[in-house]
Amino acid sequence: MTDTPAVDGEASRGNTSDAASSSAAPAEPESESDAPDALASSAAPEDASNMPSVPAVEFNDVTLGYRSVKGDRHVVLDHFDLSINEGEKIALIGSNGAGKSTIMKLMVGLLKPAAGTVSLFGSPIGNKKAEEISRQISLVYQNPEEMFIKDSIENDISFAMRVRDVPQWEEKTAQLLERFRLTDLRNRDGRLMSGGQMRRASLAIGIALNPSILLLDEPTANLDIATRREIMAVLDDMKDIIKTAVIATHDMQLVCQWAERIIVLCGGKVVADGTREEVFGDKRLAQLVGIRPPEIFTMARALDDDARCFTVDEFVSGFKEA
């Protein structure tokens, strides 16, 4: 994703390189997570359980923009409203510049809106300390190498836990290395690993502090078919660790296979919000936003105009009798 607000009047909390690492690691006030209690506890505020109606994330009348090199002001979000509830698996889709990356950076406090409020579990992010934000939400960057700040992935994964004095951080680091099949690579510099290994390592860093909410920016971008399939399996496996997850992506196969709710952005506004059947079944929306359903969906439609096949398994099952 390439939404790039060089923010004008919307104070940034840090540069993107720091933010990448801080989404799971840094001592800097840029981002996210909390300790992985056997990789399965929630980091939501203690009173969140008493307020089930409070959204995990809420945008209320948010406006944000930036100035171009020529000084022209470009509005990215204009009186933007959105609610994300605990337990949801959401995909943000839209063309480049639609606001996907900007929304994620606002959620972790890397950008501050010019107007309006972004809240986590009912409390405005502007009122929270960076360490508190990092216990609740984590951002995994599109470019995994931006999250590697140490000389080995073992040190990258453990860094945030060590600087926050997380109990038993050594044991938890070992658990993450094993879960993401990185134990044999523990001493390898993350920047020297293969694309799939880097992705797995960045995901391990992203959940090291066990956030309630995990944000993933283009997790399958620039991967070959085999590695992409591997990462999708990892994401599916992570459903038992992360309560709420938001993915920003152009990968429609990932969207249809993984997401339960799809939010379509265009010009910094939500133009559609629903299931895959509702979003991809709307031909007018596809023309407006320029999104294309997975190829398997198009193939099924060519055979049967009423077909609703979003994955290969659904295609095989749906046409088995034919």
**Alpha carbon distance 109, 116 (integer Å):** 14
Contact present, 96 and 249 (Cβ < 8 Å): no
The verdict on 209 and 267 lying in the same domain is: yes
Looking at the fold, whether 182 and 301 belong to one and the same domain comes out as no
Task: Find the domain containing 321 and state its range.
Answer: 292-322
Q: What confidence tier does 93 reach under pLDDT thresholds 50, 70, 90? A: very high
Residues 304 and 189 in one domain: no
Is residue 10 included in any domain, yes or no? no
pLDDT at 320: 75
Q: Cα torsion at 285, 290, 293, 299 (round to 10°)?
A: 100
Condensed to tens digits (0 to 9), the pLDDT of residues 21-55 reads 344 433 333 333 343 444 444 444 554 444 456 89
How far is 133 from 34, CA to CA, in rounded Å?
A: 9
Q: For the segment 157-213, what is each residue's pLDDT rounded down to a tens digit?
A: 999 899 888 999 999 999 999 989 999 999 999 999 988 899 999 999 999 988 999
Q: Which amino acid is at 255?
A: V
pLDDT (tens digit, 9 = 90+) per residue, 268-283?
A: 899 999 999 899 888 8
pLDDT value at residue 123: 93
Closest CA to 231 of 211, 213, 210, 257: 257
What is the predicted pLDDT for the residue at 67? 80
> Are residue 136 and residue 246 in the same domain, yes or no?
yes
Averaged pLDDT, 98-103: 91
Side-chain half-sphere exposure of 168, counting CA atoms within 13 A: 10
pLDDT for 97 equals 83
Residues 226 and 305 in one domain: no
Domain assignment present for residue 3? The answer is no
Range 9-17 average pLDDT: 40
160 & 254 share domain: yes
Q: Is residue 177 in a domain?
A: yes
Q: Is residue 158 part of a domain?
A: yes
For residue 155, give both structure tokens: 């040190």
Distances (CA, A) of 113 to 32, 99, 248, 311: 18, 13, 20, 38
Mean pLDDT of 9-31: 40
- What pLDDT, on the 0 to 100 scale, is given for residue 9? 41
Residues 273 and 317 in one domain: no
Question: Which pLDDT score is estimated for 72?
Answer: 80
Beta bridge mates, 216:
140, 247
- Domain membership of residue 46 (yes or no) is yes
What six digits make up the tokens of 184? 């044999």
In the prediction, which pLDDT does 28 show? 39
Asked if the structure places residue 4 within a domain, the reply is no
Residue 322: pLDDT band with limits 50, 70, 90: low
pLDDT in tens, 129-167: 888 888 899 999 988 899 999 999 999 999 989 988 899
Within-domain flag for 9: no
Which of left, alpha, beta for 84 (phi over 0: left; psi -120 to 50: alpha)?
beta
Rounded to 10°, the helix 153-163/195-206 angle is: 10
Low-confidence winner among 61-70, 172-181, 269-278, 312-321 (lowest mean pLDDT): 312-321
Gap between the Cα atoms of 291 and 283, Å rounded: 10
- Whether 24 is covered by a domain: the verdict is yes
Q: What is the pLDDT of residue 132?
A: 85
Contact status, residue 254 vs residue 232, Cβ threshold 8 Å: yes
- Give the other-Cβ count within 10 Å of 9's Cβ: 13
66 vs 74: CA distance, rounded Å: 5
Q: What is the CATH number of the domain that holds 203?
A: 3.40.50.300
The 3-state DSSP composition of the chain as helix, strand, coil percent (nearest 5) reads 40, 20, 40
pLDDT at 308: 82
Mean pLDDT, range 101-109, rounded to an integer: 94
Shared domain for 137 and 259, answered yes or no, is yes
My answer on whether 278 and 301 are in the same domain is no
Same domain, 279 and 180: yes
Using alpha carbons, list the distances in angstroms from residue 60 to 63, 77, 80, 318.
Answer: 9, 11, 7, 42
Q: Please tell me the distance from the alpha carbon of residue 193 to that of residue 225, in angstroms, as a whole number.
A: 18
Please give the order of strands across the beta sheet that includes 115-120: 73-84, 57-67, 115-120, 123-124
**Are residue 240 and residue 306 in the same domain, yes or no?**
no
State the pairing for strand pair 269-274/115-120: unpaired
What value does the mean pLDDT take over residues 212-218? 93
Domain count, the chain: 2
pTM of the entire structure? 0.78
Residues 296 and 275 in one domain: no
